[in-house]
Amino acid sequence: MNLADLPEATLEKIKSVHWDSILEKHEGPGTWESVLQYSHPEFLLVGEHHVLLPIDVEHHSNITILRDILSIDRSSLTLFLQDTTYSQNWYDSGFLAVCDRLENFFIAIVYHEWFVIERPSFFEAFKSNV
């Protein structure tokens, strides 16, 4: 799934979505219209779900999904992820995204920095038990 392939009506829906952020000590609301205007986001495939995060597509190769939690009604997806684009340190490269379903994909309504509170070994052990 690519943004460029979406119908104009879907792009207008995306532009109307608001999201909350805490990034680099800056916080506040934002609009997806400004994300689309000033950066180059693209869908990230998380399991079987297409997810739109307010980050440039160039970050995708540096992202590791640590947890993905789908709500029972499948209308919300919460992600804990690491993005090592700007930092290789496991403890300060974490992010939390809360995403709502919009048509057949999820879009971030919250995107916050998250200081990883669990050691990486926890995630490796968790993955091997799944």
DSSP conformation letters of 53-69: -SS-GGGGGGEEEEEEE
Counting the structural domains of the chain, the total is 1
CB proximity list for 114: less than 8 A, separation 6 or greater: 80, 94, 95, 96
Confidence at 61, pLDDT banded by 50, 70, 90: very high
CATH of the domain at 100: 3.10.450
pLDDT for position 21: 80
pTM of the prediction?
0.84
Confidence at 113, pLDDT banded by 50, 70, 90: confident
Q: Does the pLDDT at position 79 exceed 90?
A: yes
Q: pLDDT tens digit string along 24-35?
A: 555 668 899 999
CA distances from 129 to 101, 102, 125 (A): 29, 32, 6
Contact call for residues 24 and 41 (beta carbons, < 8 A): no
Q: pLDDT tens digit string along 33-42?
A: 999 999 999 9
Q: What is the mean pLDDT of residues 67-96?
A: 86
Q: Does the pLDDT at position 59 exceed 70?
A: yes
Kindly report the backbone phi and psi dihedral angles of residue 92, in degrees, each rounded to the nearest multiple of 5, phi listed first: -120, 25
SS3 24: coil
Percent of the chain with pLDDT over 70: 78
Domain extent for 49: 3-128
Q: How far apart are CA 11 and CA 2, in angstroms?
A: 11
